[in-house]
Amino acid sequence: MNVAVMGHGTVGRSVVRLLENDPSICVKYILEIPEKCTEEKMVSDPEIIFADAGIETVVDALPGVHPSFELIQRALSCGKNVVTSNKAALANDFRALLDLTSENGPKIWCEATCGGTIPVIKEAASLSGTNEITHCYGIMNGTTNFILDVMKKEGREFTDVLLEAQRLGYAEADPTADICGFDVKNKVILLSSICYHGMVTKDFPVFGIEKISKEILDSLAAEGKTVKLLGISVRKENRYAIGVVPVIFDVSSLEANVPRNFNMFTLGCTNAGDVKLYGQGAGGDPTADAVIRDLKDVQEGSGFGRSYFDCDLVYDPGLLKGEGIIDKEKVSGTLEELSGLACRKNAFFAFLPDFLK
Protein backbone atom coordinates (compact mmCIF):
# COMPACT_ATOMS: atom_id res chain seq x y z
CA MET A 1 0.00 0.00 0.00
CA ASN A 2 1.28 3.47 -0.90
CA VAL A 3 0.54 6.22 1.58
CA ALA A 4 1.19 9.94 1.96
CA VAL A 5 2.08 11.42 5.34
CA MET A 6 0.88 14.99 5.88
CA GLY A 7 3.05 16.69 8.47
CA HIS A 8 6.62 15.92 9.50
CA GLY A 9 6.65 16.82 13.18
CA THR A 10 7.13 14.44 16.12
CA VAL A 11 4.42 11.97 15.03
CA GLY A 12 4.89 12.26 11.25
CA ARG A 13 8.63 11.68 11.49
CA SER A 14 8.13 8.59 13.68
CA VAL A 15 5.54 7.22 11.25
CA VAL A 16 7.94 7.61 8.33
CA ARG A 17 10.86 6.09 10.24
CA LEU A 18 8.93 3.09 11.63
CA LEU A 19 7.43 2.35 8.22
CA GLU A 20 10.93 2.02 6.75
CA ASN A 21 10.96 -1.51 8.23
CA ASP A 22 7.54 -2.48 6.90
CA PRO A 23 7.56 -3.91 3.38
CA SER A 24 3.75 -3.79 3.12
CA ILE A 25 3.41 0.02 3.45
CA CYS A 26 5.40 2.50 1.37
CA VAL A 27 5.52 6.23 2.16
CA LYS A 28 5.35 7.83 -1.30
CA TYR A 29 4.88 11.46 -0.24
CA ILE A 30 5.50 13.61 2.81
CA LEU A 31 3.61 16.93 2.88
CA GLU A 32 5.76 19.73 4.24
CA ILE A 33 6.04 23.51 3.93
CA PRO A 34 8.26 24.52 0.97
CA GLU A 35 11.22 25.62 3.14
CA LYS A 36 11.40 22.17 4.75
CA CYS A 37 11.12 20.04 1.60
CA THR A 38 14.59 18.49 1.82
CA GLU A 39 13.85 14.96 0.62
CA GLU A 40 12.76 13.75 -2.76
CA LYS A 41 9.40 12.45 -1.54
CA MET A 42 8.54 15.74 0.19
CA VAL A 43 5.91 17.90 -1.50
CA SER A 44 4.32 21.16 -0.43
CA ASP A 45 1.31 20.99 -2.74
CA PRO A 46 -1.29 18.57 -1.31
CA GLU A 47 -2.99 18.33 -4.71
CA ILE A 48 -0.06 16.23 -5.94
CA ILE A 49 -1.08 13.65 -3.33
CA PHE A 50 -4.80 13.87 -4.00
CA ALA A 51 -4.29 13.57 -7.77
CA ASP A 52 -2.17 10.41 -7.49
CA ALA A 53 -4.42 7.38 -8.05
CA GLY A 54 -1.70 5.20 -6.51
CA ILE A 55 -2.30 6.76 -3.09
CA GLU A 56 -5.07 4.87 -1.34
CA THR A 57 -4.57 6.28 2.14
CA VAL A 58 -3.44 9.60 3.58
CA VAL A 59 -1.99 9.92 7.08
CA ASP A 60 -2.78 13.24 8.74
CA ALA A 61 -0.11 14.00 11.34
CA LEU A 62 -0.60 17.77 11.31
CA PRO A 63 -1.42 19.79 14.44
CA GLY A 64 -4.39 22.14 14.89
CA VAL A 65 -7.72 22.47 13.12
CA HIS A 66 -6.56 24.27 9.96
CA PRO A 67 -5.56 23.38 7.32
CA SER A 68 -5.84 19.79 8.55
CA PHE A 69 -9.65 19.76 8.56
CA GLU A 70 -9.85 21.00 4.97
CA LEU A 71 -7.13 18.56 3.88
CA ILE A 72 -9.05 15.64 5.40
CA GLN A 73 -12.20 16.85 3.59
CA ARG A 74 -10.32 17.05 0.34
CA ALA A 75 -8.66 13.64 0.81
CA LEU A 76 -11.99 11.92 1.49
CA SER A 77 -13.60 13.75 -1.45
CA CYS A 78 -10.83 12.39 -3.66
CA GLY A 79 -11.60 8.86 -2.45
CA LYS A 80 -8.59 8.51 -0.13
CA ASN A 81 -8.84 6.79 3.23
CA VAL A 82 -7.73 9.02 6.09
CA VAL A 83 -5.74 7.87 9.13
CA THR A 84 -5.39 10.81 11.47
CA SER A 85 -3.64 11.61 14.73
CA ASN A 86 -5.10 15.13 14.73
CA LYS A 87 -7.68 15.34 17.50
CA ALA A 88 -8.36 19.05 16.99
CA ALA A 89 -9.26 18.67 13.33
CA LEU A 90 -11.45 15.63 13.89
CA ALA A 91 -13.23 17.04 16.95
CA ASN A 92 -13.91 20.22 14.97
CA ASP A 93 -16.65 18.37 13.07
CA PHE A 94 -16.34 14.58 13.07
CA ARG A 95 -19.83 14.21 11.63
CA ALA A 96 -19.10 16.41 8.62
CA LEU A 97 -16.02 14.32 7.86
CA LEU A 98 -17.88 11.02 8.29
CA ASP A 99 -20.48 12.35 5.84
CA LEU A 100 -17.73 12.36 3.21
CA THR A 101 -17.07 8.63 3.65
CA SER A 102 -19.02 6.01 1.74
CA GLU A 103 -19.99 2.36 2.08
CA ASN A 104 -17.49 1.05 -0.46
CA GLY A 105 -15.32 4.13 -0.52
CA PRO A 106 -12.98 5.96 1.83
CA LYS A 107 -13.21 5.78 5.60
CA ILE A 108 -11.59 7.35 8.66
CA TRP A 109 -9.28 5.76 11.25
CA CYS A 110 -8.31 7.77 14.33
CA GLU A 111 -6.74 5.58 17.04
CA ALA A 112 -3.94 8.11 17.59
CA THR A 113 -6.29 11.04 18.26
CA CYS A 114 -7.11 9.86 21.75
CA GLY A 115 -4.69 8.29 24.20
CA GLY A 116 -1.69 8.10 21.86
CA THR A 117 -0.78 4.45 21.55
CA ILE A 118 -3.59 3.16 23.79
CA PRO A 119 -6.12 1.18 21.70
CA VAL A 120 -9.09 2.96 23.31
CA ILE A 121 -10.76 4.08 20.07
CA LYS A 122 -10.71 0.58 18.62
CA GLU A 123 -11.98 -0.99 21.83
CA ALA A 124 -14.67 1.69 22.29
CA ALA A 125 -15.96 0.80 18.83
CA SER A 126 -15.70 -2.93 19.52
CA LEU A 127 -17.28 -2.85 22.99
CA SER A 128 -20.06 -0.52 21.83
CA GLY A 129 -21.00 -3.16 19.26
CA THR A 130 -22.03 -5.64 21.96
CA ASN A 131 -22.67 -3.33 24.92
CA GLU A 132 -24.31 -0.06 25.68
CA ILE A 133 -21.43 2.06 26.93
CA THR A 134 -22.94 4.00 29.83
CA HIS A 135 -19.93 6.10 30.74
CA CYS A 136 -16.41 6.79 29.65
CA TYR A 137 -13.75 8.76 31.42
CA GLY A 138 -10.04 8.94 31.63
CA ILE A 139 -6.76 10.57 32.39
CA MET A 140 -6.32 11.79 28.82
CA ASN A 141 -3.44 14.23 29.12
CA GLY A 142 0.08 13.23 30.08
CA THR A 143 1.32 16.75 30.80
CA THR A 144 -1.24 17.44 33.50
CA ASN A 145 -0.87 13.94 34.96
CA PHE A 146 2.88 14.42 35.16
CA ILE A 147 2.43 17.73 36.98
CA LEU A 148 -0.17 16.39 39.44
CA ASP A 149 1.83 13.21 40.08
CA VAL A 150 5.08 15.06 40.81
CA MET A 151 3.27 17.71 42.91
CA LYS A 152 1.71 14.94 45.00
CA LYS A 153 4.77 12.70 45.36
CA GLU A 154 7.33 15.45 45.91
CA GLY A 155 5.16 18.02 47.71
CA ARG A 156 5.96 20.76 45.19
CA GLU A 157 4.01 23.72 43.82
CA PHE A 158 2.28 23.84 40.45
CA THR A 159 4.45 26.47 38.73
CA ASP A 160 7.66 24.78 39.89
CA VAL A 161 6.63 21.39 38.43
CA LEU A 162 5.29 22.99 35.25
CA LEU A 163 8.77 24.41 34.62
CA GLU A 164 10.30 20.95 35.10
CA ALA A 165 7.70 19.44 32.73
CA GLN A 166 8.70 22.04 30.13
CA ARG A 167 12.39 21.25 30.62
CA LEU A 168 11.67 17.52 30.17
CA GLY A 169 9.62 18.11 27.03
CA TYR A 170 6.37 16.93 28.68
CA ALA A 171 4.85 20.42 28.45
CA GLU A 172 4.94 22.89 25.57
CA ALA A 173 6.44 26.39 25.78
CA ASP A 174 2.83 27.64 25.78
CA PRO A 175 1.23 25.02 28.03
CA THR A 176 -2.30 26.49 27.92
CA ALA A 177 -3.92 23.76 25.79
CA ASP A 178 -2.78 21.06 28.20
CA ILE A 179 -3.06 22.88 31.53
CA CYS A 180 -6.48 24.42 30.91
CA GLY A 181 -8.10 21.22 29.63
CA PHE A 182 -8.52 22.08 25.92
CA ASP A 183 -6.47 19.08 24.77
CA VAL A 184 -8.63 16.78 26.92
CA LYS A 185 -11.74 18.50 25.57
CA ASN A 186 -11.00 17.35 22.02
CA LYS A 187 -10.25 13.82 23.20
CA VAL A 188 -13.39 13.41 25.29
CA ILE A 189 -15.48 14.73 22.39
CA LEU A 190 -14.03 12.09 20.07
CA LEU A 191 -14.09 9.20 22.51
CA SER A 192 -17.65 9.94 23.67
CA SER A 193 -18.87 10.27 20.08
CA ILE A 194 -17.40 6.86 19.27
CA CYS A 195 -18.69 5.24 22.48
CA TYR A 196 -22.22 6.60 21.99
CA HIS A 197 -22.41 6.43 18.17
CA GLY A 198 -23.27 10.07 17.63
CA MET A 199 -21.68 13.50 17.61
CA VAL A 200 -21.56 15.22 20.99
CA THR A 201 -21.63 18.98 21.56
CA LYS A 202 -18.52 21.14 21.77
CA ASP A 203 -20.14 23.38 24.38
CA PHE A 204 -19.67 21.93 27.89
CA PRO A 205 -17.76 22.68 31.11
CA VAL A 206 -14.00 22.56 30.69
CA PHE A 207 -11.68 23.03 33.66
CA GLY A 208 -7.96 22.67 33.98
CA ILE A 209 -5.45 22.16 36.77
CA GLU A 210 -4.03 25.67 36.97
CA LYS A 211 -5.73 26.38 40.31
CA ILE A 212 -4.51 23.19 42.02
CA SER A 213 -1.98 24.06 44.72
CA LYS A 214 0.23 22.03 47.04
CA GLU A 215 -2.07 23.09 49.86
CA ILE A 216 -5.11 21.60 48.11
CA LEU A 217 -3.32 18.31 47.37
CA ASP A 218 -2.13 18.14 50.99
CA SER A 219 -5.62 18.66 52.35
CA LEU A 220 -7.03 16.00 50.00
CA ALA A 221 -4.20 13.63 50.97
CA ALA A 222 -5.13 14.03 54.62
CA GLU A 223 -8.50 12.51 53.72
CA GLY A 224 -6.93 9.68 51.67
CA LYS A 225 -7.84 11.40 48.39
CA THR A 226 -6.16 12.94 45.41
CA VAL A 227 -7.24 14.66 42.23
CA LYS A 228 -6.75 13.83 38.55
CA LEU A 229 -7.81 15.79 35.48
CA LEU A 230 -10.45 13.74 33.66
CA GLY A 231 -12.37 13.88 30.46
CA ILE A 232 -15.68 12.37 31.48
CA SER A 233 -19.07 11.62 29.99
CA VAL A 234 -22.15 9.60 30.89
CA ARG A 235 -24.98 8.39 28.71
CA LYS A 236 -28.52 7.19 29.27
CA GLU A 237 -30.35 6.10 26.12
CA ASN A 238 -29.86 8.99 23.69
CA ARG A 239 -29.03 11.60 26.36
CA TYR A 240 -25.57 12.36 27.63
CA ALA A 241 -23.55 14.78 29.75
CA ILE A 242 -19.88 15.59 29.33
CA GLY A 243 -17.10 17.62 30.86
CA VAL A 244 -13.42 18.14 31.57
CA VAL A 245 -12.74 18.55 35.27
CA PRO A 246 -10.39 17.63 38.11
CA VAL A 247 -11.99 14.58 39.75
CA ILE A 248 -11.40 13.34 43.28
CA PHE A 249 -10.17 9.75 43.69
CA ASP A 250 -9.27 7.55 46.65
CA VAL A 251 -5.51 7.10 46.87
CA SER A 252 -6.00 3.34 46.47
CA SER A 253 -7.83 3.70 43.15
CA LEU A 254 -6.08 2.80 39.92
CA GLU A 255 -6.48 6.35 38.60
CA ALA A 256 -4.76 7.84 41.64
CA ASN A 257 -1.75 5.63 40.91
CA VAL A 258 -1.32 6.41 37.22
CA PRO A 259 2.26 7.69 37.19
CA ARG A 260 4.07 10.48 35.36
CA ASN A 261 2.82 11.20 31.84
CA PHE A 262 0.77 8.01 31.39
CA ASN A 263 -2.94 7.93 30.49
CA MET A 264 -5.74 5.61 31.61
CA PHE A 265 -9.21 5.28 30.08
CA THR A 266 -12.33 3.58 31.41
CA LEU A 267 -15.18 2.31 29.25
CA GLY A 268 -18.27 1.41 31.30
CA CYS A 269 -20.15 -1.39 29.55
CA THR A 270 -23.50 -3.01 30.29
CA ASN A 271 -22.27 -6.60 29.84
CA ALA A 272 -18.49 -6.34 30.09
CA GLY A 273 -18.44 -4.01 33.11
CA ASP A 274 -15.66 -1.44 33.43
CA VAL A 275 -12.77 -2.00 31.01
CA LYS A 276 -9.67 0.13 31.57
CA LEU A 277 -6.80 0.77 29.17
CA TYR A 278 -3.46 2.30 30.13
CA GLY A 279 -0.33 3.38 28.31
CA GLN A 280 1.63 6.19 26.70
CA GLY A 281 -0.82 8.90 25.68
CA ALA A 282 1.69 10.86 23.60
CA GLY A 283 5.19 10.78 22.15
CA GLY A 284 6.47 10.12 18.66
CA ASP A 285 6.91 6.35 18.49
CA PRO A 286 3.95 5.35 20.69
CA THR A 287 1.57 7.61 18.74
CA ALA A 288 3.07 6.57 15.41
CA ASP A 289 2.54 2.95 16.40
CA ALA A 290 -1.20 3.65 16.74
CA VAL A 291 -1.16 5.28 13.30
CA ILE A 292 0.56 2.22 11.82
CA ARG A 293 -1.88 -0.18 13.51
CA ASP A 294 -4.64 1.87 11.84
CA LEU A 295 -2.85 1.45 8.50
CA LYS A 296 -2.84 -2.33 9.08
CA ASP A 297 -6.58 -2.13 9.76
CA VAL A 298 -7.03 -0.17 6.52
CA GLN A 299 -5.43 -3.10 4.74
CA GLU A 300 -7.80 -5.52 6.46
CA GLY A 301 -10.81 -3.27 5.81
CA SER A 302 -12.70 -1.59 8.67
CA GLY A 303 -12.75 2.07 9.74
CA PHE A 304 -15.37 4.65 10.63
CA GLY A 305 -17.98 5.43 7.99
CA ARG A 306 -21.08 7.60 7.86
CA SER A 307 -23.33 4.82 9.17
CA TYR A 308 -21.37 4.70 12.44
CA PHE A 309 -23.17 7.74 13.86
CA ASP A 310 -26.63 6.19 13.99
CA CYS A 311 -27.74 7.87 17.23
CA ASP A 312 -29.10 11.41 17.58
CA LEU A 313 -27.69 12.38 20.94
CA VAL A 314 -29.22 15.04 23.20
CA TYR A 315 -27.06 16.95 25.68
CA ASP A 316 -28.56 16.66 29.17
CA PRO A 317 -26.25 18.11 31.83
CA GLY A 318 -28.59 16.78 34.54
CA LEU A 319 -27.09 13.32 34.02
CA LEU A 320 -23.73 14.29 35.50
CA LYS A 321 -24.42 15.08 39.17
CA GLY A 322 -22.07 14.86 42.09
CA GLU A 323 -20.26 16.60 44.88
CA GLY A 324 -17.86 19.40 44.25
CA ILE A 325 -15.26 21.31 46.16
CA ILE A 326 -15.25 25.02 45.27
CA ASP A 327 -12.38 26.67 47.11
CA LYS A 328 -12.79 24.79 50.39
CA GLU A 329 -16.57 24.57 50.36
CA LYS A 330 -18.37 21.30 49.62
CA VAL A 331 -21.35 21.66 47.28
CA SER A 332 -23.70 19.31 45.42
CA GLY A 333 -25.22 19.67 41.98
CA THR A 334 -24.64 18.97 38.33
CA LEU A 335 -21.20 19.48 36.83
CA GLU A 336 -22.67 22.32 34.80
CA GLU A 337 -24.15 24.12 37.83
CA LEU A 338 -21.05 23.71 39.96
CA SER A 339 -18.67 24.67 37.20
CA GLY A 340 -20.71 27.82 36.56
CA LEU A 341 -20.46 28.69 40.25
CA ALA A 342 -16.71 27.99 40.31
CA CYS A 343 -16.24 30.17 37.21
CA ARG A 344 -18.08 33.09 38.77
CA LYS A 345 -15.94 32.78 41.91
CA ASN A 346 -12.79 32.17 39.82
CA ALA A 347 -12.09 29.41 42.33
CA PHE A 348 -10.40 26.02 42.55
CA PHE A 349 -12.93 23.35 41.55
CA ALA A 350 -12.82 19.56 41.89
CA PHE A 351 -15.69 17.16 41.33
CA LEU A 352 -16.76 13.67 42.42
CA PRO A 353 -19.50 12.34 40.12
CA ASP A 354 -22.18 10.26 41.85
CA PHE A 355 -21.51 7.32 39.55
CA LEU A 356 -17.88 7.15 40.69
CA LYS A 357 -18.65 7.17 44.41
Residue 292 in the binding site for a second copy (CB under 8 A): yes
Residue 119 in the binding site for a second copy (CB under 8 A): yes
Q: In the set 4, 171, 190, 258, which binds a second copy (CB under 8 A)?
A: 258
> Of all helices (H) and strands (E), which one includes residue 344?
helix 335-345
Task: Tell me the pairing of strands 273-280 and 314-315.
Answer: unpaired
Nearer to a second copy, 153 or 202 (CB): 153
Q: Helices in 27-172 by DSSP H: which ranges?
A: 46-51, 68-77, 87-92, 94-98, 120-130, 142-154, 158-167
Which span (29-37, 127-135, 188-196, 210-218) binds a second copy, by CB under 8 A? 127-135
Residue 211 in the binding site for a second copy (CB under 8 A): no
> Quick one: 144 exposed, middle or buried, by C-beta within 10 A (0-12, 13-18, 19+)?
buried
With vertex at residue 137, the alpha carbon angle to CA 198 and CA 144, rounded to the nearest 5 degrees, is: 120
Pairwise CA distance, residues 106 & 95, whole Å: 15
Which span (49-57, 93-101, 200-208, 255-263) binds a second copy, by CB under 8 A? 255-263
Q: Binders of a second copy: how many residues, by CB under 8 A?
A: 42
Q: Is 187 a catalytic residue?
A: yes
> Least distance in Å: CB of 258 to a second copy?
7
One-letter amino acid of 65: V
Residue 221 in the binding site for a second copy (CB under 8 A): no
> Least distance in Å: CB of 350 to a second copy?
21
One-letter amino acid of 329: E
> Least distance in Å: CB of 149 to a second copy?
10
Catalytic residue among 80, 87, 185, 187: 187
67 Cβ contact list (under 8 Å, min separation 6): none
Q: Is 224 left (phi over 0), alpha (psi -120 to 50) or beta?
A: left
> Least distance in Å: CB of 194 to a second copy?
15
Question: Which positions lie near a second copy, rule CB under 8 A?
Answer: 18, 22, 117-119, 122-123, 126-127, 129-131, 252-254, 256-259, 269, 271-280, 283, 285-286, 288-290, 292-293, 296, 300-302
